[in-house]
A and B are shown apart, each in its own frame.
Chain A
Amino acid sequence: MKALTVSKAVTALVLAGLVLLPLYSQLSGNIFILTLFTRIVILALAAASLNLIMGYGGMMSFGHAAYLGIGGYAVGILAQEGVGSGFIQFPVALAASALYALVIGALSLRTRGVYFIMITLAFAQMAYYVASGLARYGGDDGLTVYKRSDFSGLINLSGRVQFYYLCLACLLGVIFLIWRIVNSRFGLVVQGLRSNEQRMQAIGFPAKRYQLVCFVISGTMCGLAGALLANNTDFVSPAVMYWTRSGDLMVMVILGGMGTLFGPVMGAVVYLLLEEFLSQITEYWALIMGPLLLLIVLFGRGGIMGLLGRAGRG
């Protein structure tokens, strides 16, 4: 049996907390906390998907929020056009995200390093402007989703607790999938490409093809988060694709610990709770958050998981 490390214990505690949260919410009558954590779980899912390419694949995508928007708009637009079934909405959301990731990835992966950061950013911004130009679907003001996705009685997305558990199940499912991917031959190749692309190519691996597949998988996962997010807020607007949202996702991944399985979840929980906490103290919460990020970058190597790992080693 493997030793119980501090990071494992804390991860288990956080996961147990997430699973038991609706119980607490019911007992204390605090509905707000359930709404807050539904959002946290969804964004943790998005951060986990970003971690797959950024942490394991070494592809620094600064445009990940685009998939949140694409998944959300797929749900919103279909709902507006009278297609309310989740069995159609969710597959369309995933397919649309995958298609976008395929095109953007094929173009962006021709570059590396800073170019890659800037290009994914620029393409996401393009998606933002396109969504702002969709006059039929609310344009700048966004699109209200009057009816949540309908799964014909299988699961009711309007029930708070049911919806929360659906999101949590999606998050855990995606993390399981990432775990399987990372430990597969495919995942090992992708991680090898992160540490030395030339060497991997010399052995005979088609680098770009592996990276592109990884990029598409990650985008599709994030599209799922987008579809859930639109259902959670009953609303989708270009603002979910704005580049600061992509920045938020990156911060969550780094804060939690890049290239660790549960790091993004930790990062999302801590970042969003901190945001919530600071915004209750002062209206100008970003005045504290900004320099805090700077300090985390300067001194907090390896994020929360790194910190817990060091604490474990004593």
Chain B
Amino acid sequence: MLLVIEQFLNGLQFGLLLFLLAAGLTLVFGIMDLVNLAHGSLYMMGAYFAATFVAWTGNFLLGALLALGATLVLGIVLEVVALRHLYGRDHLDHVLATFGLILFFNEAVRLIWGPAGLALPLPPWLTVPVPILPGIYYPAYRLAIIVVALLVALLLYLGVMRTRIGMLIRAGASNREMIGALGINIKLLYTLVFGLGAALAGLAGLMQAPILTVQIGMGENILILAFVIIVIGGIGSIRGAFLAAIFVGMIDTLGRAFLPNLLRQILSSTAASTAAPALSSMLIYLLMAIVLVVRPEGLFPANRR
């Protein structure tokens, strides 16, 4: 029971983290029609910035805030220098150009921080186990991730649904040319949205950093999960991304935790121990395949023209 609750929370935490990444990706795609493979690089940069700034300042929160700002700036610079010129081009061009950016970022990180990974140690006050139910403890840091991510999700929802900028963002997603014709500075809006997406990816990266090692290529595996999520959720839909992210996070975590035991009851233990790791890493792709068969445009497609 204890294990089930713990894994359930782990799944929720992982899912929320994936949401932060997928939200930026789906916003950028929904509004600028840009496929950004380098989104995973921004996630990686967030983690590297955090590891560096925390070591510099000696203060976890301050370092994290600085890293968040740095990723935001990096995102904006990236948009202005390179990606801005890709709007309106073929999707294949986006894929190739951002693929080139991934190569660049990975190599730049190797040059600056070296090939070995970094560790981001947690401050003592975040490592204590917190009682969530009588007798059941959960690490404070993972709990903090859940709280922060939920808060960001809420802010994002309110921001997009209730503010003027959010209104422009939604208008941009449904008809790009029209809001330009109405005298909105689209260039600025795009840069802003891209920066926001970058900051979200950076936040995901810096929050994940203390749990995993900070290393080159860390953004790529998780980027593909984010792709799976926006395919399941429907491209351009934040609500879809949220639900799909939680779903994928849960299935991935619970599958890895419980599938081996489940298989052991059906198969012989040697067969189970060979099949389980492969099968549990396949689970979410199978899920995606099923969703595609049933609803090719995703579960919650954003309203298209």
Binding site for B on A (CB under 8 A): 54, 60, 62, 107-108, 110-111, 113-115, 117-119, 121-123, 125-126, 129-130, 132-136, 243-244, 247, 250-251, 254, 284-287, 289-294, 296-298
Contacts and interface: CB of A to CB of B under 8 A. Distances in A.
Contacts of B89: 297
Contact of A119 (B95, B104, B281, B292): B292
Given A111-B296, A115-B296, A129-B278, 8 more contacts: A115-B235, A117-B95, A130-B278, A244-B220, A286-B103, A290-B101, A290-B104, A291-B104
A251 B96 contact: yes
Interface size class of B (residues with CB under 8 A): 35 or more
Contacts of B86: 297-298
Contacts of A118: 227-228, 230-231
B39 to A, nearest CB: 12
A289 B100 contact: yes
9 contacts: A114-B35, A122-B228, A125-B221, A129-B282, A244-B103, A244-B220, A286-B103, A293-B96, A297-B86
What does DSSP make chain B's interface, helix, strand, loop or mixed? helix
Nearest to A258: B92
B55 interface: no
B6 interface: no
Interface string B63-90: 0000000000000000000100110010
B110 interface: yes
A297 B282 contact: no
Contact of A247 (B35, B99, B221, B224): B99
Contact of A287 (B35, B111, B221, B292): B111
A292 B97 CA distance: 9
A195 to B, nearest CB: 14
Interface string B206-237: 00000000000000110010011011000100
Contact of A123 (B220, B278, B285): B285
- Enumerate the 6 nearest inter-chain pairs by beta-carbon distance, A residue then B residue, closest first: A293-B100, A290-B104, A133-B278, A290-B103, A286-B107, A129-B281
A115 B35 CA distance: 10
Contacts of B103: 244, 286, 289-290, 293
A119 B100 contact: no
A60 B96 contact: no
Nearest to A289: B103
Nearest to A107: B289
Contacts of B104: 286-287, 290-291
Contacts of A129: 278, 281-282
B288 interface: yes
B182 to A, nearest CB: 27
Contact of A114 (B91, B97, B105, B285): B91
Contacts of B228: 118, 122
A99 to B, nearest CB: 15
